[in-house]
Chain A
Amino acid sequence: MAEAPMSRVLVIDDSSLVRRYYRAALERAGFAVEEALNGIEGLEKLLEGRFDLVIVDVNMPKMDGITFLSDLRARAAPTGSVPALVTSTEAGPQDKEAARRAGANFYLVKPVAEADLVAHAALLAGARA
């Protein structure tokens, strides 16, 4: 029987340690992981490859997560409709609302626990048709 292809996740965060942490957790859970360090690089990676989920931080130089998400959602499917998990150090309702309006599917507050990350990744990547 053919093996199901691994779900591919793009992690966008300007911290190399955060990317490494998420990568370790996601790879242990069976995901294939790629990285970008800001919204512009994230868009380029998404436009060049197929992903089942993008995990993107709000706070990044050059192009922040909200701007990235707004740009992404304006693009045609399947790229523009990739599920998006937004992370942020901010826990306030306005911040969550801004992410939702920009097209986030879920919002996690940093620092993110490994179990939370993997559980939400599985949920959102699995929801991809």
Chain B
Amino acid sequence: MPLVRRPTISAAAPAREAAPGEPFALLSDPDAGVRWSAARALADEPGGIQALARALARETEPRVREAITTSLMRAGSEEAVCALIEHVRSDDAALRTLVVEALQGMAAAASHLPDLMADADPDVRILAAEIARSMPADEATGLLADALAGEQHPNVAASIVEVLVEVGTSDAIDALRMARRRFAAEPFLPFAVDIALERLARSEP
């Protein structure tokens, strides 16, 4: 019958395994596919985090950036977190999004949040709120409620409320009520805060 095969060696060529030291050099290769493979390989190499951090600063190809952030995410170290945090200020929105996604999955990011949530740049504060989503409810609520209490920028407030709606406890109710008054004339925010208030009223701290 068709499909029956003689037990020969498969015709498929296995992918080439890189020689030691190669990934570092290949991270600057003109070919995006080569850089992608190098970024993946460096997660496990000593000194890899630094090389990945430098590469992230100059890489423009989306899937190579994604591979770099995945490798940093897997490393999970304080060094990897710092390499990512460097880019929360980037003008490049896509890079900021990538970086935040990775930081959401890294426990070591939590200690940086108080600073990030107090940053002068509203985009950084928005990202900080998103990172808080992966923290335990009490910790996240404390940080987010404090940030909301002093927040003047409507889009940052919206981001904080968005995260509170998932993770918040009733400890955030006062800050939410204040925000409701502060942003009463804004579109969307009163709607968002009302939902958060209703939701958090039943959530014991």
Q: Among A20, A61, A89, A111, which residue has its beta carbon within 8 angstroms of that of B189?
A: A111
Q: Give the complex CA separation of A80 and B195 in angstroms.
A: 35
Tell me whether B176 is interfacial, beta carbon within 8 Å.
no
Contact residues in A for B189 (Cβ distance below 8 Å): 111
Q: Is A17's CB under 8 angstroms from B97's CB?
A: no
- Mark the stretch among B25-33, B34-42, B78-86, B154-162 that contacts chain A: B154-162
Tally of contact residues, A, Cβ under 8 A: 21
Q: Is B97's CB under 8 angstroms from A15's CB?
A: no
Which chain A residue shows the least CB distance to B165?
A: A17
Contact residues in B for A67 (Cβ distance below 8 Å): 62
Could you say which interface size class chain B belongs to?
20 to 34
Tell me whether B94 is interfacial, beta carbon within 8 Å.
yes
- Per-residue 0/1 for B173-191: is the Cβ within 8 Å of any A Cβ (1 yes, 0 no)? 0000000000000111101
- Known contacts A59-B93, A64-B97, A89-B155: does B188 contact A20 (CB below 8 Å)? no
A-B contacts, 13 listed (Cβ < 8 Å): A17-B165, A18-B158, A18-B188, A21-B192, A59-B97, A60-B97, A61-B100, A61-B101, A110-B155, A110-B188, A111-B154, A111-B186, A113-B187
